[in-house]
Amino acid sequence: MDAQAATKFIRSVRAVRRFADREIPVDTLRDVIETARWTGSAKNVQPWHVVVVRDRAMLGQLAACGEFAYHLKGARLGIVLVMASRGYAFDAGRLTHNVMLGAWAHGVGSCIAYFQPDDNQAKAKELLGIPDDRWVPTGISLGYPADEAALRISSDPGRTSGFAVGRMPLDQFVSWEKFRQTA
C-alpha cells in the first residue's frame, strides 16, 4: 500500500455524530471487530472486551448515560469498551482508535461516547450486564455519515459545541531535541 495514501487516510478520520439510516453489512462489522481485536496493548495484556449493541432501544438508553453519549441514539450500532480496570485508559484510547480507523476504512463514521460521571457509567454497566469491577469509560457510535455536513456538525441543533475546528499549527505541536526548541 502507498505510504502517503495510508497516512492521508489516517489523517482523514473525523468524528461523525449524525448517521444515515443505512445498515452496516455484517462483513464490514466483522472486519471492524477484527481490526479492534488486533490492537496493541502494554505487555500484550489485552485488558479489554467489547460489547456490540445493535438494539435501538438499548442504544437510546445508553445515549442517556452521559452528556457526551447522546449520539448513540442515532447510531446504527454501538461498540462499548469493557476495560479490566481504570488503569487502562491509555490502552482504551488505542482500542478506540482502531475501531474508528477500521470503520472509516469502510466509509463508516464514528464518535466516542463518554459514560460520565461515574453514576452514568454504573447505569451503562447495569444495562449491559457488565460486572461492577470492570471499567467502562466509553462507547463508540457507528454508522454511515448522514450527509457531508455530518463530518462537521453536531447531531443536536441546539448544541453549538464551541470546540475548535482543525488542529493547532505545527510549530505549537512539535519541538526538536528539547522542549520548545525549534528545528
Residues numbered 112 to 171 that lie near a second copy (CB under 8 A) are: 112, 114, 128-131, 137-138, 161, 163-165, 167-168, 170
Which listed residue (119, 149, 157, 180) binds a second copy by CB under 8 A? Answer: 180
Question: In the window 76-115, what residues touch a second copy (CB under 8 A)?
Answer: 82, 89-98, 100-102, 105-107, 112, 114
Q: Is residue 44 at the binding interface for a second copy, with CB under 8 A as the rule?
A: yes
Binding mask 19-38 for a second copy (x = CB under 8 A): ---------x--xxxxxxxx
**Closest residue by Cα to residue 81 from 53, 118, 57, 119:** 53
For every residue of 71-132, DSSP letters joined together read: GGGG-SEEEEEEESSGGGHHHHHHHHHHHHHHHHHTT-EEEEEE--SHHHHHHHHHHHT--T
Count of residues interacting with a second copy (CB under 8 A): 78
- Residue 6 vs 147, nearer CB to a second copy: 6
138, 93 contact by CB (below 8 A) = no
Question: What type of residue sits at position 159?
Answer: R
State the Cα–Cα distance between residues 11 and 138, nearest whole angstrom.
22
Q: Which stretch binds a second copy (CB under 8 A): 2-10, 16-24, 147-155?
A: 2-10
- Closer Cβ to a second copy, 102 or 145, answer by number: 102
d(CA 183, CA 180): 10
Question: Taking the complex as a whole, how short is the minimal distance between the CB of residue 146 and a second copy, in angstroms?
Answer: 19
State which of positions 47-66 bind a second copy (CB under 8 A): 48-55, 58
* Dist CA 166 CA 178 (whole Å): 26
Whether the Cβ atoms of residue 83 and residue 135 lie closer than 8 Å to each other: yes
Our measurement of the distance from residue 102's CA atom to the centroid of its chain's CA atoms, rounded to an integer in Å, reads 11
Q: How far is the CB of 157 from a second copy (least distance, A)?
A: 19
